[in-house]
Amino acid sequence: MDYRGEKVIAFYIPPIIESHYGLDVIIDGIHRSRICSSAGTTINIVRIRDGNIELPFKPITWSECEIVKEKPPIDERYHNLRKELFRDLSYVGIDG
């Protein structure tokens, strides 16, 4: 809904996937991906092939993900987190 209370259509920035050595890793958009998967719908993505910057965390599989009611602290959401390697996505409207 907009500021007047009228229904509007929103466009969400697609999840950003980086391919590293044949492994596709979601860099941003895990929640949007999970919602679409749960609903059985398709989703567009932005894929970056042959990423040349180290990942800021150790990737995990879908089976290792948990649905929680509240967002845990950042250090509990990632394995081997290195914040200095996070991508600056503010240019596309993502605040991290």
Digit-coded pLDDT (tens) for 41-84: 778 888 888 777 889 999 988 888 888 888 889 888 889 999 99
Residue 76 lies in a domain: yes
Tell me whether residue 72 is in a domain.
yes
Is residue 83 domain-resident? yes
CA distances from 13 to 4, 31, 54, 71 (A): 24, 12, 23, 20
- 11 domain-assigned: no
Q: What is the pLDDT of residues 17-29, one digit of tens each?
A: 899 888 888 888 8
Give the count of domains, the chain.
1
Instruction: Report residue 93 as tokens.
Output: 């409207």
Q: What is the pTM of this model?
A: 0.70
User: Whole domain around residue 62: which residue ranges?
Assistant: 16-92
Q: Residues 33-46: pLDDT tens digits?
A: 877 777 787 788 88
- The Cα–Cα gap between 96 and 90 comes to 8
Domain presence at residue 5: no
**In a domain? residue 60:** yes
Residue 71 domain-assigned (yes or no): yes
Q: Which of 27, 19, 21, 87 is nearest to 49 (CA)?
A: 19
pLDDT at 90 (0 to 100): 82
CA distance 27 to 56: 9
Q: Which helix H or strand E contains 30, and what residues bound it?
A: helix 30-39
Q: Is residue 3 in a domain?
A: no
